[in-house]
Amino acid sequence: MLGQMMQMPLLISSLIVHADKYHGDIEVVSGLSDGSIHRYTYTDAHKRARQLANAFDKLSVKIGDRIGTLAWNGYRHLELYFGISGIGVVTHTINPRLFPEQINYIINHAEDDYVFFDLSFASLIENLAPHCKQVKGWIALTDRIHMPEMKTANVLCYEDLLNAESDDFEWPSFDENTASSLCYTSGTTGNPKGVLYSHRSTVLHAYAIALPDCLSLSARDTVLPVVPMFHVNGWGLPYGCAAVGAKIVLPGPCLDGASLFELFEKEKVTMTAGVPTIWLGLLTYLQQNKLKLSTLKRMVVGGAACAPTLMRSLEEEQGVEVLHAWGMTETSPLGTTCILKAKHATQSKEQQYAVKTKQGRAVYGVEMKITDNDGRELPCNGEAAGNLLVRGPWIAREYFKGDGSPLTADGWFPTGDVASIDADGYMQITDRSKDVIKSGGEWISSITLENTAIAHPAIAEAAVIGIHHPKWDERPLLLAVKKSNVDVSKEEILHFFEGKVAKWWIPDDVVFVDQLPHTATGKLLKTKLREDFSAYKLPTT
Ligand code: AMP
């Protein structure tokens, strides 16, 4: 017997319709590249998304086509999120920090018909255009007065397109499994792979992130997503904020400590999300200038491990609750968030931090397990570490255009992360499987060693890689960036590890470097480090 409830497809357009209808006066604030602020409301955003939808009709864009965006977090990008997906077209957000050859590859692979771009990417577009013959038009996200002089043919003006259209438009209804957006993994090796989200997966993910034990979004929040809208749909925040009617503050390209602090304070931001490097930059700025955030309550840290020292400083100096979160492009991205249970309330601060620095519990909708290399499930005892697998309605089952079906035979997605899960369900990443250091048949967690190194007051950033060793197979080498104006010796750093990690985990050597390489999404680029140090001879060999 079937249930007798209405069959209403879960569509992205319903999010902006809801925000307009019930939170129409709530502001969407955007920091622009010239330092000025643009503000309007959800009702304005919805009106312009409908004008855009009408413009697509004139551009002969059809359901299933892909439209690229090369843009910072701003109101026009938000209009594209809803205006493109709302008509059944795929919003393909492109990460401008990828190498130009990779951008070129993904625009061609996605077969984007049009690409919308912020003016700061005009010269990038000039270089890309000759290699992207199928792109029918490049649309500058600006008005007529600010149109750039470009040698590229087919450059259109966004505001002209919108001005020519009425806002009289009804969002179409279609199958909720229709593709809605596309994001390529930053892949440190090989070509990037496309992850194709659906309306259903996106709306379910928006519900999930709003939950109290997830990002806890509400109509009383002012949310500033630092995470770029070109990285896994801005972690779903543009959709989640519309679903609950939260005020949204889009910071544009200025993500330095000073600009962020000003925006947090001016707009009375209550919740924010981004990668650890951004928060490290903000924290340093706040410490140097003796400043305190006055309205911010929650800060989501994800995309890379949040060092315990960073968490403590943010919580104890700034009074902000830090939520450690884990996810991937393939998981939409939210998989886990780390929030204490009632039983932790009576524990000491130390015990609470030991839990809070883990990557967290599965959000309802995501299932997790860990296995050994033969696929045997490992116990959830907080000790055993193995390959992390996940499944759920917003986890990818294959890559765009048949670039591989990553699932195991029994339908789980292997994340490539190595993790433990404790009896309360808290997952802790120890490494990427390819970064784990295999010493004498045992595994050493590079993340634990990096977190320990960063806890030293003279170290700004650290990376640990495995170096070939004739006896142990691999041994850890620490590459560290010193904080400016402080000095520290190799010996002092190695001594600092004593008593903090197992003796045999202590790195065999330390090399001080001026900077460490990062991927386009701000993660340590360990493939490059392994290449650069492939001939390095440890003193213990
Ligand atoms: P991406 O698909 O580019 O977002 O990268 C996903 C990968 O980032 C994951 O598989 C993890 O290796 C890493 N990652 C994401 N969040 C965390 C976290 N909180 N702690 C450690 N690693 C993380």
pLDDT in tens, 193-203: 999 999 999 99
Q: Is 443 a catalytic residue?
A: yes
**How many alpha carbons fall within 13 Å on the CB side of residue 149?**
0
Q: Is the CB of 304 under 6 A from ligand 1?
A: yes
Compute the C-alpha angle 453/320/521, nearest 5°.
55
- Please give the residue that has the higher pLDDT: either 52 or 405: 52
The CB of 307 under 6 Å from ligand 1? The reply is no
The 3-state secondary structure of 170-223 reads CCCCCCCCCEEEEEECCCCCCCCCEEEEEHHHHHHHHHHHHCCCCCCCCCCCEE
User: Is the model's pLDDT at 540 over the cut of 70?
Assistant: yes
The residue whose two tokens read 């991205």 is 333
Identify the band that residue 384 occupies on the pLDDT scale cut at 50, 70 and 90. very high
Bridge partners, 465 (sequence order) = 477
Q: How far is the CA of 300 from the centre of ligand 1 (A)?
A: 13
- Among the listed residues 284, 321, 371, 443, the single catalytic one is 443
pLDDT (tens digit, 9 = 90+) per residue, 224-270? Answer: 999 999 999 999 999 999 999 999 999 999 999 999 999 999 999 99
Question: Is 112 near ligand 1, meaning CB less than 6 Å away?
Answer: no
Among 231, 324, 326, 464, say which to mutate for ligand 1: greatest number of ligand atoms within 8 Å of CB. Answer: 326
Query: What are 312-331's pLDDT values in tens digits?
Result: 999 999 999 999 999 999 99
Q: Of the listed 176, 267, 330, 461, which one is catalytic?
A: 330
Kindly give the number of the ligand 1 atom that is closest to the alpha carbon of 329: 2
Q: Is the pLDDT assigned to residue 403 strictly greater than 90?
A: no
Residue found by looking up tokens 């299933």 in the block:
64
Distance, in Å, from the CA atom of 271 to the CA atom of 216, rounded to the nearest integer, reads: 9
What is the rounded distance in angstroms from the CA atom of residue 348 to the CA atom of residue 344? 8
pLDDT digits (tens, 9 = 90+) for 117-162: 999 999 999 999 999 999 999 999 999 999 999 999 999 999 999 9
377-389: average pLDDT: 96
Catalytic residue check, 297: no
Helices (H), ranges, 319-444: 349-356
- For residue 511, pLDDT over 80 is answered with yes
In whole angstroms, give the CA distance from residue 539 to residue 519: 30
CA–centroid distance, 275 to ligand 1, in Å, is 10
Percent of the chain scoring above 90 in pLDDT: 90
Q: How far apart are CA 427 and CA 421, in angstroms?
A: 4
- Asked if pLDDT for residue 404 goes beyond 80, the answer is no
Query: What's the pTM?
Result: 0.93
Nearest CA to ligand 1 atom 23: 304
Determine the Cα–Cα distance for residues 57 and 72; give it in Å rounded to an integer: 25
Confidence of residue 115 (pLDDT cuts 50, 70, 90): very high
Say if strands 473-482 and 459-469 run parallel, antiparallel, or are unpaired: antiparallel
Question: Rounded to an integer, what distance in angstroms lies between the CA atom of residue 439 and that of residue 359?
Answer: 25
Query: Which alpha helices (DSSP H) does 59-146 contain, by range?
Result: 75-85, 100-110, 122-128
Tokens at 506, concatenated: 């202590």
Model confidence pLDDT, tens digit, residues 96-107: 988 899 999 999
Nearest-atom number in ligand 1 for the CA of 325 is: 19
**CA 422 to CA 387: how far, in whole Å?**
14
Dump pLDDT digits (tens) for 328-366. Answer: 999 999 999 999 999 999 999 999 999 999 999 999 999
Q: CA angle, corner 512, sides to 508 and 514, nearest 5?
A: 150
What is the 47 CA–ligand 1 centroid distance (Å)?
36
| pLDDT tens per residue across span 478-495 | 999 999 888 999 999 999
Does position 510 have pLDDT exceeding 80, yes or no? yes
Predicted local distance difference test score (pLDDT) of residue 517: 93
Query: Which residue out of 429, 430, 448 has the highest number of ligand 1 atoms within 8 Å of its CB and is therefore the one to mutate?
Result: 429
User: From residue 273, how far is each of 51, 215, 260, 322, 430 by CA, in Å?
Assistant: 30, 9, 12, 10, 22
Mean pLDDT of the chain: 95
Rounded Cα distance, 236 and 214, in Å: 12
Contact in structure between 182 and 22 (CB atoms under 8 Å) = no
Ligand 1 atom with minimal separation from the 305 CA: 20
What confidence score (pLDDT) does residue 187 get? 63
The CB of 303 under 6 Å from ligand 1? The reply is yes
From the CB of 520, is ligand 1 less than 6 Å away? no
Mutate to test the pocket of ligand 1, among 328, 330, 339, 356 (most ligand atoms within 8 A of CB): 328
Decide whether any atom of ligand 1 lies within 6 Å of the 305 Cβ.
yes
- The reported pLDDT for the residue numbered 440 is 86
